[in-house]
C-alpha cells in the first residue's frame, strides 16, 4: 500500500488544517528566516520541534517532550480516558505557547495510533483545536511509516542491503523495508511495510507488573509471543521478494534509551546515541535483562529511571523479538523520525530545504 502525501495542519492562528501548507508564499528572504513546527502526538508522548532552515538542512531552535500516556486504558475501554485527555491537553497548551512565542507560521501537527483507534478520537481532536488552537491531523499508519523513514533515512548505508527500519511507538510498531539509496535529494523508496497493533503502552497493558521473578519471566515471554506472528508474516513477505539480508535501523524512545544503557552513558546524550551502531546480540541480551528486572531495579538504571521503568519492558519485548528475527551484525540507532520528516516536508514544500546543496 503506497503511503499517501501529507497535508499541512495549522497552529493556534486558526488556520484550516487542510490549507496551511498552501498559503501564498512569502518572499524568499522571509522564508529563509521562517520558523517551522512539527508536533507528534503519540500514544505515550507529546513531542514538538521548532526549526529554521540552515546550510545543512535545519537548525532546531526549540523543542518540547512530555510523557502524556494518551492511550492509557485504551486497549480495554476503546476510548480515551478523561484523565489522559486532560494530561495531553496540558502538554498541547505548552506546545501552543512555544509556537506562538517563536512566531511559527507553518506547522504540521500529527496524531497517531491512540487517536486512530479510540472511539472518541475525533471528538478529542475537535476539543484540542477549541482549547489550544492546535489542529491535529490524525494520520494513517502508512503516513506514519513514511514520515519516520523520511526523518531518519540519512542513517541508512547506501552501499548496504535493503534497510529494515522500525519505529516502536506507544500504540503500534511500524516496520518498513526501504531501498538503500535515494535519487538525488529524494528519500529512498519504501518497498514494503507493516504496522503491528502493539506498542509500549498497548502491549504493557496486557500484563501487570508482576512482583515475583518467575511471573515476570512468563509475562515477558507472553509479550514476545504477541509479536512473533506479525514478524514471521512480514519476514515471509521479504523472503518472497528475495530479500535475505537487511541492515537494521531503529527509531523511537525504546531503542534510544536501551542504546544509551548499552553504551554505559550516565545520562542520555543525543550526540552519542543518534547514529550509533550497537551489536544486535548484545542489545537483545540487554532487552532480556531489563525485561526480567523488577520495577524498582529498572528505575535505578541510568537513562531508564522511574518515568520509563514500567513501559520499557514492553519495548524490550518488541525490540528483542525484532533483533532475534533478524539476528547478526549491528543495528543503527536514530534519535530522529516523524518530527524531522515533517520539518523536511514543510521546508521542501516552501522551497528552503538545503540538505546536500
How many Å apart are CA 142 and CA 5, to the nearest integer? 10
Question: What is the overall mean pLDDT for the chain?
Answer: 89
Output 222 or 354, whichever has higher pLDDT. 222
Q: What is the pTM of this model?
A: 0.87
Could you report the per-residue pLDDT of 333-349, keeping only the tens digit for each? 999 999 999 999 999 88
43: left (phi over 0), alpha (psi -120 to 50) or beta: alpha
Question: Does position 15 have pLDDT exceeding 70, yes or no?
Answer: no
- As given in the structure block, the three cell numbers for residue 312 are 520499557
Could you report the per-residue pLDDT of 231-287, keeping only the tens digit for each? 999 999 999 999 999 999 999 899 999 999 999 999 999 999 999 999 999 999 999
Q: At what angle do helices 312-325 and 213-240 cross, to 10 degrees?
A: 40
How many Å apart are CA 187 and CA 177, to the nearest integer? 13
Write down all domains in the chain, each with its CATH number in brackets. Answer: 20-140 (3.30.420.40), 142-334 (3.30.420.150)
* 85: enclosing H helix or E strand: helix 82-101
Per the CB < 8 A criterion, the answer to whether 303 and 133 are in contact is no
How many Å apart are CA 334 and CA 160, to the nearest integer? 17
- Res 56: pLDDT: 76
Average pLDDT over residues 50-64: 91
Amino acid at each position: 500500500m503506497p503511503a499517501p502525501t501529507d497535508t499541512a495542519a495549522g497552529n493556534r492562528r486558526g488556520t484550516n488544517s487542510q490549507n496551511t501548507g498552501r498559503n501564498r508564499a512569502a518572499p524568499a528572504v522571509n522564508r529563509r528566516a521562517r520558523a517551522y513546527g512539527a508536533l507528534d502526538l503519540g500514544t505515550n508522548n507529546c513531542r514538538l520541534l521548532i526549526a529554521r532552515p540552515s546550510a545543512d538542512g535545519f537548525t532546531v531552535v526549540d523543542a518540547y517532550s512530555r510523557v502524556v500516556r494518551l492511550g492509557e486504558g485504551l486497549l480495554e475501554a476503546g476510548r480515551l480516558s478523561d484523565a489522559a485527555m486532560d494530561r495531553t491537553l496540558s502538554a498541547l497548551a505548552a506546545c501552543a505557547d512555544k509556537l506562538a512565542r517563536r512566531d511559527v507560521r507553518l506547522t504540521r501537527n500529527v496524531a497517531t495510533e491512540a487517536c486512530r483507534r479510540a472511539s472518541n478520537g475525533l471528538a478529542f481532536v475537535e476539543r484540542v483545536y477549541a482549547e489550544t488552537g492546535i489542529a491535529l491531523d490524525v494520520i494513517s499508519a502508512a503516513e506514519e511509516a513514511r514520515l519516520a523513514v523520511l526523518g531518519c533515512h540519512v542513517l541508512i548505508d547506501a552501499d548496504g542491503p535493503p534497510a529494515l527500519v522500525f519505529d516502536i511507538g506507544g500504540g503500534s510498531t511500524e516496520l518498513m523495508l526501504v531501498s538503500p539509496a535515494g535519487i538525488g535529494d529524494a528519500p529512498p523508496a519504501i518497498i514494503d511495510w507493516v504496522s503491528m497493533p502493539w506498542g509500549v503502552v498497548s502491549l504493557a497493558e496486557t500484563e501487570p507488573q508482576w512482583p515475583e521473578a518467575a511471573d515476570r519471566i512468563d509475562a515477558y515471554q507472553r509479550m514476545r509471543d504477541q509479536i512473533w506472528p506479525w514478524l514471521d508474516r512480514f519476514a515471509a513477505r521479504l523472503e518472497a521478494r528475495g530479500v535475505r539480508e537487511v541492515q537494521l535501523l531503529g527509531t523511537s524512545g525504546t531503542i534510544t534509551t536501551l542504546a544509551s544503557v548499552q553504551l554505559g552513558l550516565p545520562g542520555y546524550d543525543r550526540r552519542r546515541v543518534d547514529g550509533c551502531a550497537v551489536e544486535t546480540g548484545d542489545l537483545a541480551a540487554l532487552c532480556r535483562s531489563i525485561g526480567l528486572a523488577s520495577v524498582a531495579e529498572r528505575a535505578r538504571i541510568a537513562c531508564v529511571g522511574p518515568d520509563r521503568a514500567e513501559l520499557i519492558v514492553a519495548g524490550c519485548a518488541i525490540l528483542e523479538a525484532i533483533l532475534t528475527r533478524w539476528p547478526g551484525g549491528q543495528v543503527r540507532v536514530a534519535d530522529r523520525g516523524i518530527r524531522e520528516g515533517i520539518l523536511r516536508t514543510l521546508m521542501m514544500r516552501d522551497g528552503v530545504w538545503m540538505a546536500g546543496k
